[in-house]
Amino acid sequence: MNRDLAFPADGRLPAAPGDLRAGAAQPRGQGRMAPQTSQLDVSTVLRIVKEWRWLILAAMVLGIAGGIIATMLTTPLYRASATLEINPPRFEVVGENKDMQDSGQQSWDFVATQIGLLKSRAVAERAAQDLNLAANPAVAGTTGTLDERLQRATGVVAGSLDVATPKEGTLVNYSVTSPDPNLAAVIANGIADSFINSGLQRRYESSAYARQFLQRQISKTRADLEQSEKQLAAYAQAEGIITLQSGSSNGGGSPEAGNSLQGESLQALNEALATATARRVAAEGAYRAAAASGPTSDVNTSTQGLRQARAALEAEYSEKRTELQPDHPEMVSLRSRIDALGQQISRESAQVTSGRSNTLAQEYRAAAAAERALQSRVSGLKGEVLNLRGRSVRYAILQREVDTNRSLYDALLGRYKEIGVAGGVGTSPVSVVDRAVVPGGPFKPNLPINLLAGLGIGLILGLAGAVGLDLLRDTIRTRDDMRNKLGIACLGQIPKRVGKSEFVEELKDPGSPISEAYSSTAAALRFTTEHGAPRTLMVTSTSPSEGKSSSALSLAQNFARRGLAVLLIDADLRKPAFRGPSEDVGLTKLLTNDETILGHISPTQFENLSLLPCGTIPPNPADLLSTGRLGALLEEALMHFQMVIVDSPPVMGLADASLIAHATHNVLFVVESGRTRTRQASEALNGLEASGAHLLGGLLTKATETSGHYSYYNYRYGDLDDKRERIALIPYHQES
């Protein structure tokens, strides 16, 4: 076998023997991220639905079956409905011919109150009594006393009643449910009649109580009024107080109000005195004016004819004087006539003036006498009125008491009449719009609704169960789970194998899905360090059978196919996955002696890929790996190969992986999709970090679009009889 392997001239030279990690293990600063809390987003729900679709479908089928069974087992129920109209009361405004209705809020309060009364047990009990349901065995049974059966019937009526509260308007719909359609209609109509009758009875009882109360109050007030009137009359008689009837309805008045006999007289005398005084003043003025002015208009009136005659003669005398002398007989005759008329006018004026002056004097004296008489009478009545005012204080007190009792008596009589009108039998605010009729068919069970309900309940329970099982399982299924739950980058996702082709044959086919996936992972490894792909790489997993050995082989084959000299080391000293040509060569023997590594390396069926098998399974793998021999072997291998890939045992429960990780420094963590639990994987990563290893990232294996359940095989190290199939890299030929 050629021990001098040629390396391709790609710029990646073997590291110096004294520095295993030189140029290959420098991290790019990404490290392990902090795990994120899982969120139940839309994508997660869709994944859960797709993964657990059979569970959800089974739950939906069971829900539909439950709906069918519930429909078959449910007793048919019939519903009879009726409609009532509730009219808020209207009040007549006294003194005006118009109605006043309550406001909208008061009307709604009234409707709500009536709905509450309709739902009351009192209405249900009255309906049960009116319909004699206590004697119906189908409703009240046959056992117990009459009161017990009535209570059971009342409970049936109240339990079957369903009242719908209107959002607007005053129409109220209610329904009654019963296994018997005829009974449902009878109870619905009975409830309407009982509700109306109970309302009328309540109004009558309340008005009857009010009438009785008002009757007692009216009797007491009447007695008080009679007593106060008697006291008033006795006091007026004792004090000699006479009051005159006024226009008021109370039939009496107060002396201070001017309606006493003395007051009326004083008022009349005052008016007469004012008239007499005015007459006296007028007579006095006329008398004095006549005395001062001489002839008055009366004189002029009585002598007017004489003056006119004299004026005519004087005119004639003046006309003839131009022709005749004054001593002419005709002129002398005219002068005589004129003088005679003047004398006659003087005598007439004197007579008129003397008569009128006497008349005015007499009138003046009579008016003055009348005024003095009235003044004397008024002065006397003033004293009497003042005396009466002092005696009328008690009278006014008694009069106010009479007025108060009379007002209260009138108010009680008016209220008694109003209650008598409002308490009429025919003024119920509730009326029946539509009476209940016998229903034509049952409304329960409703098969379509039950099927939909069963389907919905089954879907909800199926989703809840799927989400619960998914959360309880808490495994790594997708790339996002690896990043969010473990905090490491996912370098690749390997699909689950389908078909019966050999794994090695699929690796040889570059176009197979497995080969393509590992090629993508190899490409991603080139960006994990600053100098490209790491030269030493350990591949491990949390637990056995997660695909770490297949991944180690695939990555080694992929890098070898690119022209690199790759060494694959099977470091699983408890259950090796690769078979060598002989048990005498392998890693176990190298760890126990100082032989060179080239003497134990075997070629494989892949070009540029060599294998260092495990060899004999030792009894103490951890003790062998804890020495510094493994690091020296890796440094020696890097002198002859460009890349060394180590297949490590699982991390959980073993110290082997941590010891190997400390030597190789670079770790690729393999996780089987849908199987590896988050907590176990996280603990495994913590152990690897504690060893000082650099976590390059994770590799998700056996991934499917729907992560289902996978069998968990019992893995026991050291069991030589284990029949697990090993990957045959090197065909075994018996040497001759």
What's the CA gap between 333 and 697, in Å, rounded? Answer: 178
What's the CA gap between 26 and 439, in Å, rounded? Answer: 86
Asked if residue 108 is part of any domain, the answer here is: no
Q: How far is CA 535 from the centre of its chain?
A: 67
* Closest CA relative to residue 268, chosen from 384, 381, 372, 391: 381
Q: How far is CA 497 from the centre of its chain?
A: 56
SS3 598: helix
In this model, does residue 450 exceed pLDDT 80? Answer: yes
Question: Kind and range of the H or E element at 706?
Answer: none
The vertex-179 CA angle with 176 and 183, nearest 5°, equals 60
Asked if residue 339 is part of any domain, the answer here is: yes
pLDDT, average across residues 384-412: 74
* Closest CA relative to residue 587, chosen from 566, 568, 614: 614
217: left (phi over 0), alpha (psi -120 to 50) or beta: alpha
pLDDT at residue number 283: 66
What's the CA gap between 149 and 591, in Å, rounded? Answer: 96
pLDDT, average across residues 647-662: 87
In this model, does residue 122 exceed pLDDT 80? Answer: yes
* Residue 587 sits in the same domain as residue 684: yes
- CA 430 to each of CA 90, 109, 124, 199, 418: distance values in angstroms, whole numbers, following the listed order: 13, 15, 17, 8, 21
* Residue 675 sits in the same domain as residue 547: yes
pLDDT at residue number 349: 66
Q: Which of 206-210, 243-247, 450-454, 495-499 has the highest mean pLDDT?
A: 450-454
pLDDT at residue number 247: 41
Contacts 24+ apart (CB under 8 A), 398-406: 398/228, 398/231, 398/232, 398/235, 399/232, 399/252, 399/253, 399/254, 401/228, 401/231, 401/232, 402/225, 402/228, 402/229, 402/232, 402/250, 402/252, 403/250, 405/221, 405/224, 405/225, 405/228, 406/225, 406/250
In this model, does residue 98 exceed pLDDT 50? Answer: no
If pLDDT is split at 50, 70 and 90, which confidence band does 705 have?
A: low
pLDDT, average across residues 157-178: 87
* Residue 489 sits in the same domain as residue 596: yes
Residues, the chain: 736
The CATH number covering residue 626 comes to: 3.40.50.300
Q: What is the pLDDT of residues 304-315, one digit of tens each?
A: 777 777 788 777
If pLDDT is split at 50, 70 and 90, which confidence band does 355 have?
A: low
- CA 152 to each of CA 120, 128, 182, 291, 313: distance values in angstroms, whole numbers, following the listed order: 15, 9, 19, 119, 138
**The two three-digit tokens of residue 71, written as one number:** 């429909």
Higher pLDDT, 330 or 20: 330
If pLDDT is split at 50, 70 and 90, which confidence band does 167 have?
A: confident
Higher pLDDT, 18 or 165: 165
Q: How many structural domains compose the chain?
A: 2
Higher pLDDT, 676 or 257: 676
Q: Tell me phi and psi for residue 424, to 5 degrees.
A: -65, 155
What's the CA gap between 133 and 159, in Å, rounded? Answer: 14
- CA 514 to each of CA 481, 628, 671, 701: distance values in angstroms, whole numbers, following the listed order: 21, 36, 16, 10
Beta strand 99-101 pairing with 78-86 = unpaired
* Residue 483 sits in the same domain as residue 342: no
Q: Tell me phi and psi for residue 237, to 5 degrees.
A: -70, -40
469 touches 678 (CB < 8 A): no
Question: Kind and range of the H or E element at 294?
Answer: none
Domain boundary among 379, 395, 422: 422
Whole-model pTM: value is 0.48
Q: What percent of the chain has pLDDT over 70?
A: 72
* Closest CA relative to residue 8, chosen from 563, 644, 610: 563
Q: What is the pLDDT of residues 550-568, one digit of tens each?
A: 899 989 999 998 889 999 9
pLDDT at residue number 52: 82
pLDDT at residue number 383: 61
Q: What percent of the chain has pLDDT over 90?
A: 8
pLDDT at residue number 610: 92
Cα dihedral 121, 124, 126, 132, rounded to 10, equals: -140
Q: Mean of the per-residue pLDDT values for the chain? A: 76
Directed axis angle between helix 181-239 and helix 121-131, to 10°? Answer: 110
Query: Which residues on adjacent β-strands are paired with residue 672?
Result: 701
pLDDT, average across residues 42-55: 82
In this model, does residue 645 exceed pLDDT 90? Answer: yes
Asked if residue 20 is part of any domain, the answer here is: no
- Mean pLDDT check: name the lowest of 322-331, 351-360, 554-563: 351-360
In this model, does residue 131 exceed pLDDT 90? Answer: no
pLDDT at residue number 641: 94
* Residue 363 sits in the same domain as residue 488: no
What's the CA gap between 196 and 429, in Å, rounded? Answer: 8
If pLDDT is split at 50, 70 and 90, which confidence band does 668 have?
A: very high
pLDDT at residue number 419: 67
- CA 479 to each of CA 406, 470, 541, 689: distance values in angstroms, whole numbers, following the listed order: 100, 16, 16, 21
* Residue 674 sits in the same domain as residue 540: yes
Tokens 């069970």 -> residue:
445
Full domain range(s) for residue 310: 255-422
Q: What is the pLDDT of residues 509-549, one digit of tens each?
A: 777 888 888 888 888 888 888 888 899 999 999 888 888 88
* Closest CA relative to residue 286, chosen from 395, 361, 370, 368: 361
- Mean pLDDT check: name the lowest of 495-504, 558-567, 690-699: 495-504
SS3 691: coil
91 touches 107 (CB < 8 A): no
Asked if residue 91 is part of any domain, the answer here is: no
pLDDT, average across residues 426-453: 83
If pLDDT is split at 50, 70 and 90, which confidence band does 343 have?
A: confident
How many helices and strands in the chain, by DSSP H and E? Answer: 21, 14
SS3 592: helix
What's the CA gap between 408 and 402, in Å, rounded? Answer: 10
pLDDT at residue number 640: 92
**The two three-digit tokens of residue 225, written as one number:** 């009024």
pLDDT at residue number 421: 56
* Residue 399 sits in the same domain as residue 529: no
Q: What is the pLDDT of residues 709-724, one digit of tens each?
A: 333 333 334 443 443 4
Query: Which residues on adjacent β-strands are paired with residue 27?
Result: 529
Domain boundary among 390, 422, 454: 422
Q: Which of 3-17, 256-270, 352-366, 640-654 has the highest mean pLDDT?
A: 640-654
Asked if residue 99 is part of any domain, the answer here is: no
634 touches 20 (CB < 8 A): yes
Q: What single letter denotes the amino acid at residue 605?
A: Q
* Closest CA relative to residue 654, chosen from 628, 630, 684, 678: 684
What's the CA gap between 546 and 482, in Å, rounded? Answer: 15
DSSP for residue 653: T
Query: Which residues on adjacent β-strands are paired with residue 295?
Result: none
Beta strand 666-672 pairing with 694-703 = parallel
Peptide bond into 445 cis (omega under 30): yes
Asked if residue 216 is part of any domain, the answer here is: no
* Residue 383 sits in the same domain as residue 290: yes
pLDDT at residue number 323: 78
Asked if residue 598 is part of any domain, the answer here is: yes
* Residue 537 sits in the same domain as residue 648: yes
81 touches 442 (CB < 8 A): no
- Mean pLDDT check: name the lowest of 102-111, 588-597, 722-731: 722-731
Query: Which residues on adjacent β-strands are paired with residue 569?
Result: 612, 646
Asked if residue 156 is part of any domain, the answer here is: no
**The two three-digit tokens of residue 447, written as one number:** 């098969």
* Residue 517 sits in the same domain as residue 591: yes
Q: Which of 138-142, 286-290, 412-416, 714-718 has the highest mean pLDDT?
A: 138-142
* Residue 506 sits in the same domain as residue 361: no
pLDDT at residue number 709: 38
If pLDDT is split at 50, 70 and 90, which confidence band does 19 have?
A: very low
* Residue 582 sits in the same domain as residue 699: yes
Strand order in the sheet with 430-434: 161-164, 171-178, 78-86, 430-434
pLDDT at residue number 358: 67
* Closest CA relative to residue 222, chosen from 412, 397, 447, 501: 412
In this model, does residue 2 exceed pLDDT 50? Answer: no
Higher pLDDT, 450 or 731: 450
